[in-house]
Amino acid sequence: MLLEKPRKDLVKYGKKLVEHNLTKGTGGNLSFYDDSEGLMALTPSGIPYFDMKPDDIVIMNLDGEVVEGDKKPSSEEAMHRFIYKERDDIKALVHAHSIYSTSLSLLRESLPPAHYMIALAGYDVRCAEYATYGTEELANNAVKAMEGRNAVLLANHGLLAGAGDLPNAFNIAEEIEFVAEVYWRAKAIGEPVILPEDEMTLMEEKFKSYGQVKN
């Protein structure tokens, strides 16, 4: 079995997506890219996370060819492939349909630096231009809006977060959802004070050694 450990990790973190209220049903998807093998492990389409098994994970190359597995890959396989092609620093991606991040994406608004934890993703989290799910247009829009960032809002859709490994990609998704929630709640009663650029530059530097999930 190719990429046996990543398969097990994807099953584990797929369950955590539901347990941590980052998605519902079969929504969202996760992947891991092994650059030494040139292969991507990706969750399949339409299988509930608590029913998913390691051999359900689909192994693909970055040209979109299925190398191992008899399940249909996630409809967002192009988005995962395109990110890995463009970003040498990202080896794992978590796509969630989390409530507050998705709510902001419906407004087509970026998430500003209202809380310092956003520094895990960068200065802010941009909202990509809308495109139909599962299309190469959406994949290209995500790549563009995620440039220089570790997360992106997908317009009228959800959140995508990436990192050098799956634990940190999941952590970024969870923390960005937290920032989106507190920003949304603050907006409901007033106008949030946004952290200045120099403070966020400091936070990004501090987060190079702090706030990382250790494997």
Q: Is 199 a catalytic residue?
A: no
Domain presence at residue 130? yes
| DSSP line for 135-192 | SHHHHHHHHHHTTT-SEEEETTTEEEEEESSHHHHHHHHHHHHHHHHHHHHHHHHS-P
What one-character DSSP code corresponds to residue 209?
Answer: T
Domain presence at residue 63? yes
What residue numbers bound the domain in which 101 lies? 4-206
What distance in Å separates the CA atoms of residue 122 and residue 155, rounded to the nearest whole number? 19
Give residue-wise pLDDT tens across range 50-92: 999 999 999 999 999 999 999 999 999 999 999 999 999 999 9
Instruction: State the chain's mean pLDDT as an integer.
Output: 96
Q: 211 or 65: which carries more pLDDT confidence? A: 65
What CATH code is carried by the domain that includes residue 99?
3.40.225.10
Domain presence at residue 152? yes
Q: How many domains does the chain have?
A: 1
Do residues 155 and 108 lie in contact, with contact meaning Cβ atoms separated by under 8 Å? yes
pLDDT at 174 over 80: yes
pLDDT number for residue 161: 98
Task: Tell me which of 76, 77, 174, 177 is the catalytic residue.
Answer: 76
H-type alpha helices, the chain: 4-19, 77-86, 99-106, 136-145, 166-189, 197-206
> Mean per-residue pLDDT for 172-190?
97
Domain presence at residue 214? no
pLDDT at 139 over 90: yes
* Coil/strand/helix, residue 193: coil
Domain presence at residue 180? yes
